[in-house]
């Protein structure tokens, strides 16, 4: 059975869509991406939060916003902060390498 992973950043324009593209082809992984800001390309909703088993946020501020906005929907999901700042472009090789290094170990265990 596949592990369900949700990637969150602020506006769902650079970091979380990159993560979604990178890990979409990994075996045993289902991925979605969203943003926590109101102006996000794909705003995070309670259905996505409930669907996920693992939630990766890019910054500590995202963890705080997730807990504040979706407290009632956070049950057994594991929330992991990646500490990836908003200074990368979509699919930038350095961002891809960083994501694989930080997220890969969590997904290989499942």
Predicted structure pTM score: 0.96
Residue 108's pLDDT is what?
83
Token pair recorded at residue 81: 């902060």
Q: Are 20 and 31 in contact (CB under 8 A)?
A: yes
32 by DSSP, 3-state: which?
strand
CATH of domain 3-108: 3.40.50.2300
Provide CB contacts within 8 A for 52, sequence distance 6+. Answer: 4, 5, 6, 32, 77
Span 74-87, pLDDT tens digits: 999 999 999 999 99
pLDDT tens digits for range 1-51: 899 999 999 999 999 999 999 999 999 999 999 999 999 999 999 999 999
| DSSP-assigned states of every residue in 57-86 | ESSHHHHHHHHHHHGGG-SS-EEEE----S
Return the domain boundaries, the chain. 3-108
């Amino acid at each position: 059975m596949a592990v369900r992973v949700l990637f969150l950043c602020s506006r769902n324009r650079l970091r979380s869509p990159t993560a979604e593209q990178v890990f979409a082809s990994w075996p045993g992984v289902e991925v979605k991406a969203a943003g926590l800001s109101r102006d996000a390309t794909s705003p995070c909703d309670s259905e996505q939060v409930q669907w996920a088993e693992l939630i990766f946020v890019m910054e500590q501020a995202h963890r705080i916003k997730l807990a504040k906005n979706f407290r009632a929907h956070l049950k057994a999901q594991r929330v992991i902060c990646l500490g990836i700042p908003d200074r990368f472009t979509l699919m930038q090789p350095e961002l891809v390498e960083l994501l694989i290094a930080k997220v890969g170990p969590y997904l290989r265990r499942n």
